[in-house]
Chains A and B, each alone.
Chain A
Amino acid sequence: MSLLAVREMTKAFGGLMAVNDLSFEVEQGSIVGMIGPNGAGKTTVFNCITGNYVPEAGDIEFDGRPIKGVRPHRIVELGIARTFQTIRLFGRLTVLENVLAGRHCRMKAGLLACMFHGRAMQREEREAVRRCMEELEFLGLADRRGEAAGGLSYGNQRLLEIARALATEPKLLILDEPAGGMNAQETDALIEVIRAIRARGVTILLIEHDMRLVMQVSERLVVLENGSLIAEGTPEHVRRHPAVIEAYLGSSDGRW
């Protein structure tokens, strides 16, 4: 059964059709890459899935539930976590506190418990810190826990965003250009990280322009152009697909 199903989704900004009648599915436990030229609507698709935008038409189903129109923080609770194309960390908070922010939605202490620091609340805090430290160790950032997040290198900030997303215990992790601004070594490390996350049972959907990364990690690709699906399938299949070649390289019918 598919974990995420997008059906006939349409999202327009004024007269611009950002996403047009798009349908695709993400299988449980798979790594799916979404590619397409700049402005194809990839990030808009992500924003619709995570609840930041509400599509005008179509349905989004996650884990057997409709999630169209559900508010973003509720969608996180249901099990979809994301990172951003332009890094959005809490720059002046520390590395550990950024991850704790992701843990927030799995904690229960209410206003009074937070004020009075009862025993259950303290236990929950300790447990949260332990869990978050595990995520930091997983991404190799544990010894940076006390530093301000804004002071990390670009590559480490990307990893920290992933740690924050993982702290929410997602079923589906959505990565928006995770290798953006990374050098070749960092990208290699990221490929390992993405595989290790999937090995933990988390399904991954990613947008990426680094074709080496996309072709290496993705089991299936979804190709968008002008908001519509133009090809879908294994990386091998997509690489040879005429519509994809045309979208990336221009048409071969001699128009230019």
Chain B
Amino acid sequence: MNRRVFAIALGIAICLLPLVSNAYWTDVCVSIGIYALLALSLNVILGQAGIFHMGHAAFFAVGAYVTGVCNTIQHIPILWLMPVSGLAAAVFAYLVARPIIHLRGDYLLVVTIGIVEIVRIALLNDLFGLTGGSNGTFGIARPEFLGFRIVKGIHFYYLVWGMVGATLLLFHGLWRSRFGRALNCIKEDDIASECCGIDVSGYKLAAFVLGAFWAGMAGTVYAAKMTTIAPESFNFMESVIVFAVVILSGGSQLGVLVSTFLFIGLPELLREFASARMLLFGLAMMGMMIWRPQGLLPPLARRYGGGLKSAAPDAMKDGPP
């Protein structure tokens, strides 16, 4: 199937969806959008650079809590807090990733799991007396944009999916640049990358910091949408879900969107099967592993000027990182 046609159709469907669906499904799609932001940002780290990072919920939590605390205590408007939260998550990511960035594969994975747990437990213990312990932070204000208050589900829908759209464009640019190529080289062979002049730990760190910035901004939207945030929303399972979304996607941005819909949307669709839904979901995952181990939609070839085609279409057949 032609991916471009599919992408355009998906884009139009996303734009029109809230006009025809009910409030419940609009809400579900808002949370799909937030997960999409998280998964797209994790895709830079995990899908592009091949860094096994299973602690993305930690950066999401930092963003959400910075927003929550600054808004409820200092009453700073939400949209101002979006870059601040992104920056806070990015700084946090830099500090925790700097000493561990040289770790490889599963070793790094274990440390990132540690990070997400440490963050959750710190929040649970009412960090600096600001985070409200297990009750969390509540009464977070709604975002306001030029006097327009974003309150209803449909407002959030367009805010979130607008952000997803901008993210897609910017990250696509990144993928088509020396930055994106460097991350792919690091994923393939980090020693060879270092020896042909790529600052491997610098780029790994940059991928982390960038991904965390985005996760922090997603945290702001989440906090504003929920108005209440609690440590349990940022547990290890959330990290695993986002991780699985990226692995399932195959690494392309379109793949990430599709697999987010499958992962977050499908369980909602299967709700009437009640207890059997996780079973169905598990079967679907097993089917994927058997028939499509390379993921849903692996990235296509990059194109270079003068019709110079880059990757052979089956260049990525070997499966997920």
Binding site for B on A (CB under 8 A): 50, 52, 71-73, 76-77, 81-82, 84, 88-94, 96-97, 100-102, 104-107, 109, 111, 113-117, 121, 125-126, 128-129, 133, 145-148, 151, 164-165, 168
Contact = CB atoms under 8 A, between A and B. Distances in A.
B181 interface: yes
A114 B318 contact: no
A102 B308 CA distance: 18
A85 to B, nearest CB: 12
B318 A101 contact: no
A73 B198 contact: yes
A168 B197 contact: yes
A146 B188 contact: no
Contact of B173 (A115, A128, A129): A115
Given A97-B302, A111-B179, A72 B308 contact: no
Given A52-B195, A90-B189, A121-B177, A111 B210 contact: yes
B309 A146 contact: yes
Nearest to A170: B197
B310 A89 contact: no
Given A90-B188, A116-B173, A117-B176, A101 B210 contact: no
A109 B179 CA distance: 8
A105 B311 contact: no
A129 B311 contact: no
Interface residues of B, number: 41
Contacts, number: 137
Contacts of B197: 73, 76-77, 81, 102, 104-106, 168
B195 A50 contact: yes
Nearest to B192: A88
A93 B180 contact: no
Interface in B230-258: none
20 contacts: A90-B185, A90-B192, A94-B301, A100-B178, A101-B185, A101-B196, A104-B182, A104-B185, A105-B197, A109-B177, A111-B179, A111-B206, A114-B174, A114-B179, A117-B176, A121-B177, A129-B304, A129-B306, A146-B310, A165-B196
B315 A101 contact: no
Contacts of A93: 181, 184-185, 188, 310-311, 315
Contact of A76 (B173, B178, B196, B304): B196
Given A93-B311, A109-B177, A125-B177, A101 B182 contact: yes
A110 B280 CA distance: 45
B192 A84 contact: yes
A27 B242 CA distance: 55
Given A77-B197, A105-B198, 4 more contacts: A93-B181, A113-B177, A129-B304, A129-B308
B13 interface: no
Contacts of A111: 174, 179, 206, 210
Nearest to A114: B177
Contacts of B200: 73
Interface string B162-203: 000000001101101111111011001101111111111000
A136 to B, nearest CB: 10
Contact of A145 (B173, B184, B308): B308
B195 A72 contact: yes
Most central of A97, A133, A151, A165 by chain B CB within 10 Å: A97
A117 B173 contact: yes
A102 B178 CA distance: 11
A105 B178 CA distance: 10
B316 interface: yes
Contacts of B20: none
B312 interface: yes
B305 interface: yes
Given A102-B196, A117-B176, A91 B188 contact: yes
A148 B312 contact: yes
B300 to A, nearest CB: 12
Q: Which of B196, B311, B315 has the most CB of A within 10 A?
A: B196
Contacts of A168: 196-197
B203 to A, nearest CB: 10
A255 B92 CA distance: 67
B310 A115 contact: no
A104 B170 contact: no
Interface string B291-321: 0000000000110111011111011101000
Given A73-B198, A101-B193, A126 B178 contact: no
